[in-house]
Amino acid sequence: MERESLQQDQEWVESIVKKDQLNRFNLTNTDAPFNYFESFPEKMNKRIQLENNKPKNSILKIIFLNPYAKIAVAATFILILGGTYLYNTPSTKKAVSEQISLQEIPNEEIINYVNNNESIAEIDLDLVINKENASLENLEEIEIQNIQKAIIQ
Partner 1 sequence: MSSDQELIIQFQQSINKEAVFTQLVQKHQQKVYYQIKRMVLNHADADDIAQLVWIKVWNKLDGFKMESEFSTWIFRIAYNETLNFIQKQKKQGGKLSNDDLNTYENASGSSDEPKSTEIQIALDSAIKQLPEKQRIVFMLRYFDNYDYEKIAGIMGTTVGGAKANFHQAVKKIEKFVKKL
- Please report, as residue ranges, which positions from 42 to 81 form the binding site for partner 1 (by CB under 8 A): 43-45, 47-49, 51
One character per residue 112-131, x = contact with partner 1 (rule: CB under 8 A): --------------------
Instruction: State yes or no: residue 148 binds partner 1 (CB under 8 A).
Output: no
Instruction: State yes or no: residue 9 binds partner 1 (CB under 8 A).
Output: yes
CA distance 22 to 13: 9
Cα 146 from chain centroid (whole Å): 50
Torsion, CA 87, CA 89, CA 95, CA 99, rounded to 10: 40
Instruction: State yes or no: residue 17 binds partner 1 (CB under 8 A).
Output: yes
3-state percent breakdown (helix, strand, coil) of the chain, nearest 5: 80, 0, 20
Stretch of 18-26, 89-97, 98-106, 116-124 contacting partner 1, by CB under 8 A: 18-26
Tell me the residue type at 34. F
Stretch of 41-49, 66-74, 98-106, 117-125 contacting partner 1, by CB under 8 A: 41-49
Phi-psi region of 137 (alpha: psi -120 to 50; beta: other; left: phi over 0): alpha
Residue 125 · residue 110 · CB < 8 Å: yes
Beta carbon nearer to partner 1, 18 or 93 = 18
Among 4, 32, 53, 90, binds partner 1 (CB under 8 A): 32
CA distance 18 to 6: 17
Beta carbon nearer to partner 1, 25 or 113 = 25
Residue ranges binding partner 1 (CB under 8 A): 2, 5-6, 9-10, 12-13, 16-18, 21-22, 24-26, 28-30, 32-33, 36-37, 40-41, 43-45, 47-49, 51
